[in-house]
Every structure is written in C-alpha cells, then in structure tokens.
A and B are shown apart, each in its own frame.
Chain A
Amino acid sequence: MTLHNGSFRANGEAHLSIAQVSKGFVTPQEELIALQDITLEVGRGEFISILGPSGCGKSTLLRIIGGLLEPTSGSVAVNGRSPREAQADKALGFVFQEPSLLPWRTVVDNICLPLEVNNRHHRDTRYTTEGMLSLVGLGRFRNYYPFQLSGGMQQRVALARALAFDPALLLMDEPFGALDEITRATMRYELLRIWDREKKTVVFVTHSIIEAIILSDRVAVLSSQPGRIKTVVDINLPRPRSEGLERGEAFLDYSNLLHSLLMGGVKNGANFSR
C-alpha cells in the first residue's frame, strides 16, 4: 500500500491529465477558493475515485474535467484535447447523483437521447440500444417511464445513457448517493462488472470510503476549503472484485487509512506500508 502524488502507475499514456487546476468562486461575501492546484494523471482504463467530504470541491473538479466549468487557472486534457473538444467528440459520459432522466421519455428513448444530439458526429458503434438495455439489466423495462422505476433502476438507465454513445471516459458524480444502502451495495458490483466489460476510464466522485475502495485502482483524497489533493492511495486489491470484499482484512486496512486521511490523521505525502 503506497501513498504518492499525482502520477499513475499503469504504463502507457495518460488518458486524462489535470495540471495545476484551481477554481475560485466570487460570492457576495468573499472570494471562495474551491480548488487549489490540483494535479492528477489518469491512465487509460483506470478506475480512479475522488474522495472527500461534502463541499470539498470534488464535484466542481469533475465538472471542470467534463468541460461544464472553466478552471480559474490550470488546464485539463482529455486524450490531449481540451474538455470542450472532448465533448464534441462525444468522448465524455456523465452520470450524476440524480438520474436526471427525461420523465416524458421511456427507458429506451432516454438511452437513445445522446444519439439524437449532434447527430452528424454520431459515429458507428457496436453499442446498440438493445445491448445497453441488457448490459444494465433493463431489457424488460424498455418501454417503462422513469417514474415507474425505482431509484436504482433509474440510475442504471442513466448509466446506460452515458454509455450509449461509447465515450472513452466516464465521469460519475456520486451516482449512488441518492440510493438506499442495499441498492448501493448491489450497484457497486454492477458497475464493476460493466467497467470490466467496457474498459472505460472512470473518474468517480464519492464521499463513501467503502465505495472508493471496492471500485478503484486509485483513490485521490481531497481536503476541503480549499480543495486540495491530500494524497493518492493505490488500492492493491485483486480483481475481479466480488461481494464480501468489504469484510476482508486488507479492506479494513484501507478503510482505516482512508478514514484517518479524511480526518487529517496522516501527514501529506507520507509513506505508509502495511
């Protein structure tokens, strides 16, 4: 178990590089620094979590990566291109905490939505809607409306919608945050199974330590106010990971480590070995 800053261990080029990104917001009261000097490289096919307390700016960071916000300073490159170019390439798939489906569209029409947008840039893809439906296990519910589905199922539709146009980078903002604990537990392994099959690069924002360990190759721990990367923890747990992982001893070690990092117990950049 090692702590280090920024660089990823996978060989090959970085899929996503974040260089010295800072973001300030001007509020009527003060100028707020949400993110300060964030530098992070994410390898192709890597699953990285951004872990931090509420309000530490992790969602802001994700929105900057996705080109929905401009950083005050610093830069982000997705595949060597700017986030906005990546948007145009349909190289980014967003999943938010709320499913944010269109309530007047059926499951299948919601999944098709990205294919209708910007039609001329829509490339041929092995991804069919039917494939997406069965990937997330909703084949039978293709003609249901979102309000007829449970929260977990709606979030699966949102995941299918984000995957439908085959983006290489999946950006997930606390996607299981609004789900109950039992559904969350299932959805984690569900996501792992899909990630295993689709070989996407995933940036996963969460405030759940359990979630971060189960899912990630690496966990970037953010401190709050201003949001800074405290440290990046490698999660050296074997894959494929399956249910019961969270009861193992190694898991508990990681959990304790991340917990003390979040509480400020471990010094920045310290080495930690088991």
Chain B
Amino acid sequence: MEQISVDEIVQEIRAAYPSKRLALHGGRFRILGLAVSYVIPSAFALVLAAIGWQVWVRFKDIPIYILPAPSDVLSRLWGDLGFFAREGAVTLGEAMAGFVLGAGVALFGATLMAHSRFLERSLLPLAVLVKVTPIVAVAPLLVIWFGFGVMPKIFIAALITFFPSLVNGVTGFRSVNPGALDFLRSLRASRREVFLLLRVPSAMPYLFAAFRVSIPLSVIGAVVGEWFTADRGLGSVIIVAHSNLDMPTLFGAIFTLAFIGIGLTLLVSLIERRVLFWHESSFMGRW
C-alpha cells in the first residue's frame, strides 16, 4: 500500500481504538495497580470481619468448644503450620487429581458430543444423571469399591467436576465464528484441523468459566471423600477434631481449605488472563 503512509495507519488505529488496548502487553503497572486496588478493599473487609468476630466472642464470653476467637484459630494454625500444610497438601493433591481426571474425561466426551448430535443426545442424559445424583449419596459406595486409599476421594472429586467442563466444552466447541468456519471449510480443512485450529481455541473462554466453578468443587469432593474414611487430609482432620470438640483445629482446617480455595481461584484467573488475552473478558480489569 504505497500511497498510504505508516503515520496514517497509526492515526487510523489511534482513532479506532483507545490506547488501553494497545497497552495490553506492556501493562505491568496496570496489573500491579489492579492488585492494589482489589486486594486492599477485600483485605480491609476481611480484617474488619475478624475484629468483629474477636470482639463478639470475647464480649459474649463464648466458650472455645462452641466458637473459638480468630486469635485462637490463628495461634493453633501458626503453632502447627507443618501439620496443616501436610494434610492440606493431601487434600489438594486428591482434588487436583480428581479435577484433571474429571475435566479430562469431560473434554473427551465434549469433543465427541460436539461432533455428533446422536452422541450428544445419548450421552447428555447420562451426564445429567451423574450431575443430579447427590455426590454424598454415592460416596460410601465408592469407598466400598475403591478402598480406603486416595482413589475414592479422587473419583468423588472427578465426579463433581465432570459436568461443568462437559457442558461448557460442548457449547464452547460449537461456539465458533461462522465466517472463520466457512473460511476453513472453503479450504477443505479436515474435521481435525477445524477442531484444533478453530474449535479448541474458541472453547477456551467457556472452559475457563467451567474451571472457575469446578476447581473449588473438586476440593469439596476431596473433603467429602475424606469424611467417609478418616485417614489423612483436611476432611479427616475435621472429623477427628469434631469428635474431640477441638474447635481451634477444626477452624484451622476450615481456614486452610479457604486458603486453598482462594489460591486455586487466583491461579485459574492468572492462567486465564494469559490464555484469553484476546478475549473480551480480558479487556476489563478483573480477577
């Protein structure tokens, strides 16, 4: 385009799109600013709630075996950090293994279902059945089948994470730009090429939406599994502490689980920001 100068093109871009988008990749300070502007308000609310709790417990003189003050819980946590970290790691490991298994099977199923209405119609009711059955009802059965080790916990976590990934996967694989699909078809792209070049990347926003839901669910699955075979992990810590009326330990386990949940959610968000830099959802500041 010899007759149009580079300056004119730059003008064209500037006019068409605000600098915000152009600064997308260089925006390290923006990320930092976001962190500060999101972390400070939420930390403020958290500290305020903890102070309220503390004052309430001390003022009302609530016995420690009913409700411990945050200071009691924190000192229990701090005093035995290695214990909580160890048990937390067990639960986290089970949850993640379950998530990988559940999401993996779901994505495989979604791939088949996205390509065949027949498979979708035959498999989806089955998946809905799995979804609507309360997982706690199935858990004892899984313990009988898979014993007292980590396997039943992983399976429960997998079952609970399966459905969101399946449904969003099917929707995502089908939600492709029709023009891009036509273009690939006009090149006689194979199904495999269309899948890899177009469907998989197009599904990413849907998959991340599913992962945001199902990753915390996987932790729930692992804890529920541990309740049935008190052995290791935070679920078993909760059961044992509960039967001993050891509220600081019970709350310590709860805090650890909350911490794991926050960490995982944050991690998913960070990966999502990286992977989905091109998607509309990334253009607004959010975690």
User: Do A100 and B17 have beta carbons less than 8 Å apart?
Assistant: no
State which of B15, B187, B198 has its C-beta within 8 Å of the C-beta of A102. Answer: B198
Interface flag for A117 (CB, 8 Å): yes
Cβ contact within 8 Å between B16 and A150: yes
Q: A residues within 8 A CB of B204? A: 104
Tell whether, in the assembled complex, residue A152 and residue B12 are in contact, meaning their CB atoms are under 8 Å apart. yes
A140 to B186, Cβ gap below 8 A? no
- A152 and B188 CA atoms in complex are apart in Å by 27
Contact B1 A117 (CB under 8 A): no
Q: Does A52 contact B (CB under 8 A)?
A: no
Of B32-40, B71-79, B177-185, B261-269, the stretch lying at the interface with chain A is: B177-185
User: Would you call B184 and A117 a contact (CB within 8 A)?
Assistant: yes
Please give the residue numbers on chain A whose beta carbons come within 8 Å of chain B beta carbons, in ascending order: 63, 66-68, 84, 87-88, 90, 92-94, 96-104, 113-114, 116-118, 134-138, 140-141, 145-153, 156, 161-162, 165, 171, 183, 186, 190, 193
Are A103 and B193 in contact, with the CB atoms below 8 A?
Answer: no
Say whether B179 contacts A96, CB under 8 Å: yes
Which residues of chain B have C-beta atoms less than 8 A from A140's C-beta? 6, 9
Check if B245 is an interface residue, CB within 8 A of chain A: no
Report Cα–Cα, A113/B179, bound state, in Å: 14
- The answer, yes or no, to whether B21 is at the interface (CB within 8 Å) is yes
Cross-interface CB contact of A87 among B12, B13, B188, cutoff 8 Å: B188
Contact A150 B182, CB 8 Å, known A117-B193, A137-B1, A141-B9: no
For chain B, the bracket of interface size reads 35 or more
Closest to A145 in B: B278
Interface 0/1 of B21-34, CB less than 8 Å to A: 11010000000000
Task: Contacts A114-B187, A137-B2, A149-B16 known; list 5 others, CB within 8 Å.
Answer: A100-B177, A102-B197, A102-B198, A148-B17, A165-B187
Known: A87-B186, A102-B180, A148-B17. A136 touches B1 (CB 8 A): yes
In the complex, are the beta carbons of A94 and B278 less than 8 A apart? no
Residue B189 at the chain A interface, CB threshold 8 Å:
yes
The CA of A118 and the CA of B12, in the complex, are separated in Å by 35
Complex Cα distance, B119 from A226, in Å, reads 38
**Can you give 24 contacting A-B residue pairs, CB < 8 Å?**
A63-B182, A87-B185, A87-B186, A94-B186, A100-B178, A102-B177, A102-B180, A102-B197, A104-B201, A114-B183, A114-B187, A116-B197, A117-B188, A135-B1, A138-B1, A140-B6, A141-B9, A147-B21, A148-B13, A149-B16, A150-B17, A152-B12, A171-B186, A190-B1
